[in-house]
Amino acid sequence: MAPQLAGRARPTKPKKPQRTNKRKRDDVDVEALESAVSELDPKATYTTFTDLPLSEPTREGLKSAHFTTLTDIQARAVPLALKGRDVLGAAKTGSGKTLAFLIPVLENLYRAQCIGGDAGLGAMVISPTRELAIQIFEVLRTIGRKGHLFAAGLVIGGKSLREEQDALARMNIVVCTPGRILQHLSQTAAFNVDNLRMLVLDEADRILDMGFSRDLDAIIEYLPTDRQTLLFSATQTKKVGDLARLSLRDPEYVSVHEAATAATPATLQQNYVLTPIPEKLDTLWSFITSSKKSKILVFLSSGKQVRFVYEAFRHMQPGIPLLHLHGRQKQTARLDITDRFRRAQHSCLFATDVVARGIDFPAVDWVVQVDCPEDADTYIHRVGRTARYEREGRAVLFLDPSEEEGMLKRLEQKRVPIERISVRGKKQISVKKQVQSMCFQDPQLKYLGQKAFASYTRSLHVQKDREVFDLQKYDLEGFAASLGLPGAPRIKFLRADAEEVKRRKNAPRMGPEVDDDVSADSDDEEGEMGVERAKLDKKNGVRTKYDRMFERKNQDVLAEHYAKMVKTDGDAGGEDVDMSRLDGEQAVDDDLFDVKRRIPAGEGSPVPSLSDIDDADEASVTGDPATGTSRTVHLAGAKDPLIIDSKRREKLLKSKKKLLKHKAKGSRVVFDDEGMPHQVYEMQDDEAFRSKGAAEEQRRQYVDAEAERVREQDGRDKVLAKEKKREKREKRKERERAAEEEDGVEKGEDDGTGVGLVGGEDAMANFLADAQASGSDLEEEADVEVEEQPPKKQKKWFQKDVRRDSDDEVGVGKEIGTFDELEAEAARLLG
């Protein structure tokens, strides 16, 4: 292909020989690369990046990022893609697929000299989530920063459309989410994709599935058909229909792990625990508190579940920093949380499937799936957040007994090796009572619990795989109790609702525009709890006050005292909390799980067993356990001990007044004549009670007496209120009279001519009109029960009339006399 230099170089002036030389070098470089690529044998074995014909900037970029050896998928897919072939790349999670498509993008555009503003858009990389798009963009920057001059951009929404529009016109490479790029394709006039050479779909099966299908089809309509297409995923699609939609040209299917015994990384140890849904929280709590020195990613089925578990658990202080992430959070919070989890050494992140695919959190020790994934593919992606690129990891799946058979079958079909383990009875800590008491004390938490219950139940209801999910078989009452609810909220699944939810479920739940969560996670889609509110809301698109309350208040539910105690970075999203419960109960330092059988995860798996992890898990805590106020936690054995010890907290600890806030509230007592304390309400002695007559009679007498007391008090209150009102009115009138006199004097001095003033009956008519217009002020004056008008207004209209009155020497003011008389006259006329 002839090199096109137009885009590469800024207009060069003949006087600058250096520049010309560089262009010449580029020409030579590009020509040499072209011939090397044409001679490249895609079937040969390549081990290092230097074995491939790559441009100098790419080589340098890879070197500076310490990428030297090719992974399997890179070794197979990169040569093909360099040669311009369409590729369907499938490889296990964490095997380096991102570089497998980014290197060809940089190289192919470089060789085509598709660089600079005039060259237009050369490559589009589509990702199903914003988080993943950002990650891809970061990798692109890492390997492209050493000398490449491409203009690359990220278009994922969350910014002003205008800003993106301006940047898009200059981009050579765009990393984007489907919804947002479609919006630009249809709305941004300057966005020209006629020169597009490469289209890449990361997590291709997800982008091609129902949720994104409409967006994708529309995007493809805009793109030139003569282009190279690369599709990558750990669970690659081979569906002919999908491939036809993308107009692939003789695609090469590269599946490097097809012959492997497992579809998941060999370094991943996978287990499941039979946990009836009412026990889930207990098991999860026991797990978290026994793995405090780990990095744990916990998947739940909906944002509501995530919020509830996060709020409840952080209140109970498990002794490990907790974070939570779901698609309803603001983009900045989402980024902040992913970033914090990325950097954390020990932390537990509760998340929805928004981070199930592609996200490369470093060094995750555990992936815990509390809610069963909807299918085996989702399972594979979720567990793929650990054991990435030759690291070890462990995954635990919680299964309700009713899900066991069906799910195991599905996993087996997908070649997922998983073994059952069980929780050691004595290690299981029950948090039911604590959760119930918290919900009892905090209506907001209870409300979150109801929402969590509804969204979970609904997600079960809309599951497609009935062999795994049978709503009838779950103990929903028990589950509700475990969420601290007094009973299972009534959920009616209307047909229309269910269809809508299904539609949502298929929507791009990890996409930028649509909620992440499994389907039924919209506030308005929670089903009917108690009343048929949600149904109405959804139909009308109305948000109820409960919804608003939920959105507003629960941003920081239960966080108030926490915020004071813990150093936070200020975002409503996940607070980093590192505290140990001080009651000793959590110090679980033995194996939580009883491993019946274990699949050897590779030879001599260095994955630490639970006992390994827990052995060092002793927290040394300073402070006063009685007040529960210590926040200086030093986790033994940690390389970098997490010490939460800010000046602010020390100050706080010293302040007695503030400490009082965290003490238990005292109960009110009354003292008798001998100075003995008593409860405000005390139980009467049984005999003494009976001696006063029948219980019903006593009740009636009590009610009558109380009613009488209330009536009397009410009468007194009314008299008092009238009196106050009267006093107020008199004071006001006095003030007004004084103002009248003052004003009269002033006016008399200033202007005694009365020029242009109305007089006589006109003045009265005006006054009455004003009085009527101001909402029957006269009536109001007569009835003390009616609220007064704001004094400012009264003053204004009064002054107006006074001025008129005082200005007119023979006018109404003088005929009527005082304000009271004027008012009385007005009242008479108004009837």
Ligand X SMILES: Nc1ncnc2c1ncn2[C@@H]1O[C@H](COP(=O)(O)OP(=O)(O)OP(=O)(O)O)[C@@H](O)[C@H]1O
Residue closer to ligand X by CB (options 67, 287) is 67
Q: How far is the CB of 270 from ligand X (least distance, A)?
A: 16
Rounded to the nearest whole angstrom, what is the least distance from the CB of residue 134 to ligand X in the complex? 13
CB 191 within 8 A of CB 220: no
Question: 10 Å Cβ neighbour count for 357?
Answer: 27
CB of 335 to ligand X, least distance (A): 18
Of 95, 286, 450, 522, the one binding ligand X by CB under 6 A:
95
* Closer to ligand X by Cβ: residue 69 or 818: 69
Interaction of residue 128 with ligand X, rule CB under 6 A = no
Distance between CA atoms of residues 180 and 318, nearest Å: 40
The answer to the question of residue 99 lying near ligand X (CB under 6 A) is yes
The answer to whether 559 and 341 have CB atoms below 8 angstroms apart is no
Give the nearer residue to ligand X in terms of CB position, either 93 or 290. 93
Output the CA–CA distances (angstroms, integers) from residue 496 to 290, 463, 521, 780, in the order listed.
Answer: 44, 16, 16, 53
In whole angstroms, the minimum distance from the beta carbon of 338 to ligand X comes to 14
Between residues 100 and 557, which has the closer beta carbon with respect to ligand X? 100
**Should residue 71 be labelled a site residue for ligand X when binding is judged by CB under 6 A?**
yes
SS (H, E, C) 179-242: HHHHHHHHHCCCCCCCCCCEEEEECHHHHHCHHHHHHHHHHHHHCCCCCEEEEEECCCCCCHHH
Closer to ligand X by CB, 205 or 537: give it. 205
Residues 332-361 that bind ligand X (CB under 6 A): 358, 360
H/E/C letters for each residue in 272-318? EEECCHHHHHHHHHHHHHCCCCCEEEEECCCHHHHHHHHHHHHHHCC
Encoding tokens for residue 647? 């000046």
Nearer CB in complex with ligand X: 94/211? 94
CB closer to ligand X, 97 vs 505: 97
**Closest CB 384 distance from ligand X, rounded Å:** 5
Rule CB under 6 A: say whether 577 interacts with ligand X.
no
- CA–CA separation, 578 vs 100, rounded Å? 39
Please pick, from the candidates 70, 263, 355, 582, the single residue that binds ligand X as defined by CB under 6 A.
Answer: 70
Q: In terms of C-beta density within 10 A (0-12 exposed, 13-18 middle, 19 or more buried), how is residue 241 classed?
A: exposed
Which residue number, 334 or 382, has a Cβ lying nearer to ligand X? Answer: 382
Residue selected from 98, 289, 305, 586 as contacting ligand X according to rule CB under 6 A: 98
DSSP state of 46: -
| Smallest distance from ligand X to CB 136, Å | 9
Q: Which of 30, 52, 57, 67 binds ligand X (CB under 6 A)?
A: 67
Nearer to ligand X, 35 or 48 (CB): 48
- Residue with Cβ nearer ligand X (71 or 482): 71
Nearest approach, Cβ of residue 213 and ligand X (Å)? 21
Beta-carbon contacts of residue 135 (< 8 Å; ≥ 6 apart)? 98, 358, 359, 360
**420 by DSSP, 3-state: which?**
strand
Q: Which is nearer to ligand X, 70 or 454 (CB)?
A: 70
Q: Residue 69 interacts with ligand X (CB under 6 A)?
A: yes
User: Shortest Cβ distance from residue 162 to ligand X (Å)?
Assistant: 32
- In the window 377-436, what residues touch ligand X (CB under 6 A)? 384, 388-389
Residues 205-244 that bind ligand X (CB under 6 A): 234
Listed ranges 70-78, 148-156, 157-165, 395-403: which one lies at the site for ligand X (CB under 6 A): 70-78
CA distance 726 to 223: 79
Which residue from 401, 363, 395, 398 is spatially nearest to 382, judged by alpha carbons? 395
Contact 815, 770 (CB under 8 A): no
Contact window for ligand X (CB under 6 A) among 7-15, 65-73, 243-251, 426-434: 65-73
Closest CA relative to residue 447, chosen from 349, 521, 551: 551
Of 177 and 436, nearer to ligand X (C-beta) is: 177
Of 81 and 115, the one with the shorter C-beta distance to ligand X is 81
Provide the minimum distance between the beta carbon of 34 and ligand X in the complex, in angstroms, as a whole number.
25
Angle 156-160-163 (CA atoms, 0-180°, nearest 5)? 90
CA nearest neighbour of 648 among 562, 564, 575? 564
Supply the minimum distance, in Å, between the C-beta of residue 264 and ligand X.
11
The correct pick among 3, 96, 327, 484 for binding ligand X (CB under 6 A) is 96
Q: Which stretch binds ligand X (CB under 6 A): 86-94, 404-412, 639-647, 695-703?
A: 86-94
Per CB under 6 A, which of residues 647..706 are in contact with ligand X?
Answer: none
47 binds ligand X (CB under 6 A): no
> Which residue's beta carbon is nearest to the bound ligand X?
96
Checking 547-555 for CB contacts under 8 A at 24+ apart, the result is 547/523, 550/447, 550/448, 550/451, 550/523, 551/523, 553/444, 554/307, 554/311, 554/444, 554/447, 554/448
- Determine, following the binding rule CB under 6 A, whether residue 97 of this chain makes contact with ligand X: yes
Of 92-100, 310-318, 531-539, 781-789, which part binds ligand X (CB under 6 A)? Answer: 92-100
Task: Give the binding-site size for ligand X (rule: CB under 6 A).
Answer: 19
Q: What is the DSSP string of 673-735?
A: TT--EEESS-PPPHHHHHHT--HHHHHHHHHHHHHHHHHHHHHHHHHHHHHHHHHHHHHHHHH
DSSP code at position 555: G
Q: 404 near 419, Cβ under 8 Å?
A: no
Residue ranges binding ligand X (CB under 6 A): 67, 69-71, 74, 91, 93-99, 234, 358, 360, 384, 388-389
